[in-house]
Amino acid sequence: MTTSSPPIAVAAVRPAPARPRGALAEIAAHRDLLFLLAARDVRIRYKETVMGFAWALLLPLLVLASGVVIQFALTRVSGAPLDATRIAGVLVKSVPWSFFATAVGFATASVLTSASLVAKVWFPREVLPLASVAAQSVDLAVAAVAMTAGLAALGVGGHAASFWAVPLVGLLLALTAGLGLLFACANVFFRDVKYLVQVFLTYGIFFTPVFFDASVLGPRVTPWFMLNPVAPILEGLRLAIVGGHDLLVPLRLADGTLAWTPAYLAWSVVAAVGSIVAGLVAFHRSQDLFAELL
């Protein structure tokens, strides 16, 4: 068979890439799909529900309320007053934690909820968990606006160090996306991963400094507690936004507790980058097995 028409230019070469770089190129080529899937999630959540935008605030408000109760209990024990700073500290941490817990949960289930699509159409499957995280980050943005208003009402914040929030939120997004990819992939192979992740997220709040500051655990336990990769992000946000602390400077309390050190931040960077690389590699290597397992 010959054709008289000239051969057309190859629009996109798509041999099966085995490396994460290939995965990134594919995801980049499908970034509009990521956007559309995320927009679809957001639209369905905000348009066709009674709560609408209130959904974005419900979980952070519940976390905040729980945190205020716990802070109240702590002040009862210590005798210190329950001041605006303590409430602001919980407020600043309730928003990113709510994002983290919800986004990881949705991302974990994302491939299975789109099973019919995955079984029939090819596209880089990474966009499914990533779109879940992206959709959830809209909630994060809405909640962040409310949080800023809350801080203003409490008369806390306005420090220059607040700009640390930008890299910290970046780290949070990377960590969430990385774990979301890993768990979504595992959930295709083992259906109970979803429940396991849910249990960890529910009780994880007690192993993460959300309701309280990590430093209340004292000089010996605090550094161990900060090994939780979410902990330095939340503590960093609180110290920078509420305390106006420059995160490049270590902070040692009177009892010798190392409340902050740039090493905490470095660890968080390692965990976030590690999780996103591991997530992309694991996901990319196994995604062509998904259709058989669904």
Q: Which of 33, 70, 253, 282 binds other proteins (CB under 8 A)?
A: 33
- Does 200 interact with other proteins (rule: CB under 8 A)? no
DSSP code at position 215: G
Shortest CB 6 distance to other proteins, Å: 8
Which of residues 20, 30, 53, 154 is near other proteins by CB under 8 A? 30
Asked if 193 touches other proteins (CB under 8 A), the answer is: yes
Residue 19 makes contact with other proteins by CB under 8 A: no
Min separation Cβ 25 and other proteins, Å: 11
Among 78, 79, 120, 160, binds other proteins (CB under 8 A): 120
| Cα(29)–Cα(18) distance, integer angstroms | 16
Residue 254 as a binder of other proteins (CB under 8 A): the answer is: no
Residue type, 164: W
Q: Which one of 74, 196, 258, 281 is in contact with other proteins (CB under 8 A)?
A: 196
Which of 51, 65, 69, 119 lies at the binding interface for other proteins (CB under 8 A)? Answer: 119
Q: Distance (Å, rounded) from C-alpha 246 to C-alpha 266? A: 15
Residue whose CB is less far from other proteins, 68 or 115: 115
Our CB check for other proteins shows the closer of 108 and 208 to be 108
Instruction: Name beta bridge partners: 258.
Output: 252
CA angle 18/277/24 to nearest 5° reads: 50
Only segment of 144-152, 183-191, 201-209, 215-223 that touches other proteins (CB under 8 A): 183-191
Which position among 21, 76, 191, 252 is part of the footprint of other proteins (CB under 8 A)?
191
Return the exposure string of 87-109: e unless at least 16 CB atoms fall within 10 Å of the residue's CB, then b. Answer: bbbbbbbbbbbbbbbbbbbbbbb
Alpha helices in the chain (DSSP H): 20-29, 31-47, 54-78, 84-113, 115-120, 127-154, 165-189, 193-204, 218-225, 230-237, 262-286, 290-293
Q: How far is the CB of 121 from other proteins (least distance, A)?
A: 4
Q: How far is the CB of 8 from other proteins (least distance, A)?
A: 5
**Which range in 28-36, 86-94, 136-144, 154-162 contacts other proteins by CB under 8 A?**
28-36
40 binds other proteins (CB under 8 A): yes
In whole angstroms, the minimum distance from the beta carbon of 10 to other proteins comes to 5
Longest Cα separation, the chain: 89
Please give the structure tokens belonging to residue 121.
């159409």
By CB under 8 A, residue 189 contacts other proteins: yes
Report the residue from 3, 78, 79, 255 that binds other proteins according to the rule CB under 8 A. Answer: 3
Nearest to 68, CA basis, from 91, 101, 49: 91
Interface with other proteins includes 160 (CB under 8 A)?
no
Per-residue H/E/C for 156-204: CCCCHHHHHHHHHHHHHHHHHHHHHHHHHHHHHHCCCHHHHHHHHHHHH
Q: Which residue has the tokens 């009402």?
A: 153
Binding site for other proteins (CB under 8 A): 1-3, 5-8, 10-16, 29-30, 32-33, 35-37, 40, 44, 116-123, 189-193, 196, 288-289, 291-293
